[in-house]
Amino acid sequence: MRWVLFLWLATAGCGQVKNHEADAAIGDGPRAIDAPLDSAGCQPTTLLVGGTDIAPQGWAMVSQAPATLSYGPDYVHLQTSTTGGGTSGQLMLNYPGAITANQPFKIQVVMLVETVNTHNQFDSAATIMGSYTPPFGLGNDRSQMIYLDATGIGWGDDTQSFTASIANNTYHIYELAVDASNTARVTVDGIQALTRNGFVFNGAIAIGDQTNDASVDSGLRIRSVTKLCP
């Protein structure tokens, strides 16, 4: 009788584990927190949670009017515009020391591009920067930045581009990974989009409208930023 009870408990325990695994697989999309540990014990680190104040999370802001930072239920909203003259709004969220210089890294950004004007070379109203020097990026920061246009993405120096529907009222997952040989790879929703050799970075990352060029503006919703295991 005791043996039967023990067997029933063991079987029930196995069932609970299986149900837990099934529950973890159900959700509204890929979640970095579900990523497995690597051999060195690395765990994903959440850098930004949408809908909450960015400052306590370690982010700083560089802006030039007209620009507005606001919060939705689960996102941070960035809006820039042009009201006349030769300049427009600029709004960059940046995280100094988000990554370690000269070490492999992988950053994931979950973002919805509401509206965006087409980029100019070295200038973009919707960008992800794997290296950043305030207020708008210098040298390699700007040539290596990832611009997001309505119909595709590319490097800031226009050396490579990838066609994709970006401003389509949908959140997309953008990942920038740099390996030990300083080769950078960018994916959109898990699809390989861009590569680059000799990627140079200083530890700071940034997201937003990088330029004050007239009529180069955007509306962005950032749901999350996560540092993944490289």
Does 15 reside within a domain? Answer: no
Residue pLDDT tens, the chain, 230 long = 333 333 333 333 333 333 333 333 323 444 443 444 454 678 999 999 999 999 999 999 999 999 999 999 999 999 999 998 889 999 999 999 999 988 999 999 999 999 999 999 999 999 999 999 999 999 999 999 999 999 999 999 999 999 999 999 999 999 999 999 999 999 999 999 999 999 999 999 999 999 999 999 999 999 999 999 99
Inside any domain, residue 17:
no
User: CA dist 85 to 47, 79, 135, 188, Å?
Assistant: 36, 18, 20, 35
CATH of the domain at 215: 2.60.120.200
Residue 31: how many CA atoms within 13 Å on its side-chain side?
8
In a domain, 198, yes or no: yes
What is the pLDDT at residue 40?
65
Asked if residue 214 belongs to a domain, the reply is yes
**Residue range(s) defining the domain that contains residue 216:** 33-228
Cβ-Cβ contacts under 8 Å for 35 (sequence gap 6 or more): 44, 228, 229
Query: Distance between CA 159 and CA 147 in Å, rounded?
Result: 12
Structure tokens, 204: 């700071």
| Whether 105 contacts 230, CB under 8 Å | yes
Query: Would you say residue 13 lies in a domain?
Result: no
Does residue 178 fall inside a structural domain? Answer: yes
User: Which H or E run contains 146?
Assistant: strand 146-149
The answer to whether residue 142 is domain-embedded is yes
Whole-angstrom distance, CA of residue 126 vs CA of residue 118 = 9
Q: What is the pLDDT of residue 27?
A: 36
* pTM of the predicted structure, to 2 decimals: 0.83
Domain count, the chain: 1
